[in-house]
A and B are shown apart, each in its own frame.
Chain A
Amino acid sequence: MYNNKVLEEFANPQNVGVIENADGVGVVGNATCGDIMKITIKVENDIITDAKFQTFGCTAAIATSSCATKMVIGMTLDQALQLTNEKVVEYLEGLPPQKLHCSVLAEEAIKKAIEDYRSKHQ
C-alpha cells in the first residue's frame, strides 16, 4: 500500500522535536481522528530557518510531517504558504487515497505556524 519513498521517510524522519522559543507554532488534528500534528518554526528576516514536528498518527502522517518540514526550511514565509498537499504528495511519489488527508494536515500545520508567527509580529 505504501511506496518505498514513504516507508523510507517514515523510518528515517527528519526534524523530529520542538523548537524551544519557537517563533510560530501550528497544531492541527485531534486524537479522536487518530492524527495530531504539531509544527514549530524559527523565522529570521521572513525566512524559515528551522522547522520541527511532533506527530501522533500513522505512517503517512509521520512521513508527510517530516517532508513538509524539510521542504519549508529555507523558504520565505510567502513561499511556504504556497506549499500545497499536492506538492507534499509529489515529493513522496504518491500516497494511498485513504491517506491523502495526512498530507492536508501537514499543509495546514505549516500554514497555522506561519499565521501564529504573523499574529505575533504584526
Chain B
Amino acid sequence: MKIYLDHASTTPLKKEVLDAMTPYFCQYFENANSLYSGGRQTANAVALARQSVAKNFGCMPNEIYFTSGGSEADTWALKGIALAHKSKGNKIIISQIEHHAILNTAKWLKNNGFEVVELPVDNNGFVSPQKLEELIDDNTILVSVMYVNNEVGTIQPVKELAKICHDHKVLFHSDCVQAVPYLPLNFKELGFDLASISAHKFNGPKGVGALYVRNGVKIDKLILGGAQERSHRGGTTDTPAIVGLAKALELVQDSRDNHNSHVESLRNYFEQLVKEAIPFVHFNGGSPRVGSVSNLAFEFVESEGILMLLDMDGIAVSSGSACASGSLDPSHVLLSMGVPIEVAHGSVRFTFGEENTKEEVEYTVKSLTKIVERLRQMSPLFNLKQGETHNV
C-alpha cells in the first residue's frame, strides 16, 4: 500500500493539467518573445493564462508576474521592495513563522543594512494585529506575513494586517503559497500589495509560480535579463509551465468547496482516532486553520524515526517542515508557538489531499500507534516517565 499524506510539501500533477501543457513542449515550442507566427501563438497562450490567473485572483493581468516558484516570488518581493524603497526607510517586519524563503531573504537584507523585526505568534500559531500596530513606524517600508502557515495550517488575519499597513502607508506582502488550495484569494479585497503563489501546491507543475504586484507599486528587479514579463523578470518564458499553472488554478477554483470538506473530514477523523489510540500527543495549531493539516507532536520520541518507520509501511509524511530536514534544529514554527524543544523534536506533519480515503486514515493510525509505542519502548525518556508514574 502507498499512502501519500504530504500534500503541503507537493501535490501530484492533474491529468487535465498535463494535457493542457503537452502541446507546448514539442508542437508549439516557439519562444513567446519571437515575432513570427509560432512565437505569437505561444505568446497568446501565455496571455490567456495570465488573464485567467488574474481573473481568479481578482486583479489585472498586468499585475501578475510569472516566476520559477514560491521561493523566487518571496525573494523578489522582499529584496525588490527593500531596494526600491530604501530612500523612504529601512525597516521590514516579518512574522516568526514565515517560510525559509522569507526568513533567509530577510536575513540577507539584515546583513545588507536593513532592520528586520519579527512579529511573534501566540501559542496557537497566530500573529496579533495589535502587535503589528505597536511595531510599525515611519521607518517601516514593508510587512510580510504568510496567509496560511505551512507547518500547522493556521490562517493569519492578513486582511486586518494589510489594513494596518495601509493606514501607515506601508506595503503589505503575503506568501499565499499554502493558501491557494483552501481559500478563495481576491488580492484587491484582501488589500495585498504583493502576493506569492506556487503551482505545485495545487496540482500544477513544479518550478513555476507567480508574484502579484499591485499596479503603482515600485519594485526592483531580481532576475535581470531580457524584456520578458514586461521587462520585470528576465528568462525565456516557460510556456508549458505557465499554461499548467493557469489550468491547475482554474480546476482548484471550481472544486475548492468539495476539496475542503473532503480533506477536513479526513483530518478530523484522523485526529479523533489518534486521540483515542495514542497518549501523550500534542495537537499543534489553533483555529482557524486549513482543513488538510494535522501537526502532531509525540512526547518521548524523535520524529525522524516515526517518519522512517511510516515510510516502511508505505506512508509518506513530513517531520516539521521538509525544508528543515537538513538541519538538526526542530521546527522554528513550533518553537515560536512555545512548544517545548524536546516535544518539538517529536513533531510530524500529516497533510491530506483529494485522493486520500477513510481507509487510508485508519491504516495510518494503526501503523502510527504501533510505531510510536515501539519507539517509546526504546526511549529512555518514556521509561523514565513510566517509572515516575509507577512511583506516584
A residues at B contact (CB < 8 Å): 2, 7, 10-11, 13, 16, 18, 27, 31-38, 54-59, 61-62, 98
A44 to B312, CA, bound (A): 39
| Chain B residue at smallest Cβ distance from A35 | B302
| Docked-complex contact B378 and A13, CB < 8 angstroms | yes
Chain B 331-348: CB-based contact to A (< 8 A → 1; otherwise 0): 000000000011001000
Shortest beta-carbon contacts, A-B, top 4: A31-B342, A58-B304, A54-B380, A34-B345
| Docked-complex contact A56 and B302, CB < 8 angstroms | yes
| Docked-complex contact B308 and A7, CB < 8 angstroms | yes
| Docked-complex contact B301 and A56, CB < 8 angstroms | yes
Q: Is B104 engaged at the interface, CB distance under 8 Å to the other chain?
A: no
B residues at A contact (CB < 8 Å): 300-302, 304-305, 308-309, 312, 326-328, 330, 341-342, 345, 377-383
| Chain A residue at smallest Cβ distance from B382 | A56
A54 to B330, CA, bound (A): 21
A34 to B304, CA, bound (A): 10
| Chain A residue at smallest Cβ distance from B381 | A56
B304 — which chain A residues lie within 8 A by C-beta? 58-59
B383 — which chain A residues lie within 8 A by C-beta? 18, 54
User: For chains A and B in complex, what number of residue pairs have CB atoms within 8 angstroms?
Assistant: 60
User: Given A7-B308, A10-B308, do A61 and B377 touch, yes or no (CB 8 Å)?
Assistant: no
| Docked-complex contact A58 and B305, CB < 8 angstroms | yes
Q: Which of A13, A32, A57 has the most CB of B within 10 A?
A: A57
A27 to B380, CA, bound (A): 9
Residue from the list A7, A11, A16, A58 in contact with B302, Cβ < 8 A: A58
Residue from the list B308, B309, B328, B379 in contact with A56, Cβ < 8 A: B379
| Docked-complex contact A34 and B309, CB < 8 angstroms | no
- Give the shortest distance, in Å, between B302 (CB) and chain A (any CB): 5
User: Given A59-B304, A98-B326, do A16 and B380 touch, yes or no (CB 8 Å)?
Assistant: no
A93 to B57, CA, bound (A): 52
Residue from the list B300, B301, B312, B328 in contact with A98, Cβ < 8 A: B328
A58 to B302, CA, bound (A): 6
| Chain B residue at smallest Cβ distance from A6 | B308
Residue from the list A11, A36, A59, A62 in contact with B381, Cβ < 8 A: A36
Residue from the list A32, A54, A62 in contact with B341, Cβ < 8 A: A32
| Chain A residue at smallest Cβ distance from B309 | A11
A2 to B327, CA, bound (A): 15
| Chain B residue at smallest Cβ distance from A31 | B342
B380 — which chain A residues lie within 8 A by C-beta? 27, 36-38, 54-56
| Chain A residue at smallest Cβ distance from B308 | A59
User: Given A27-B380, A31-B341, A31-B345, do A57 and B328 touch, yes or no (CB 8 Å)?
Assistant: no
B379 — which chain A residues lie within 8 A by C-beta? 36, 54-56
- Give the shortest distance, in Å, between B262 (CB) and chain A (any CB): 33
| Docked-complex contact A32 and B308, CB < 8 angstroms | no
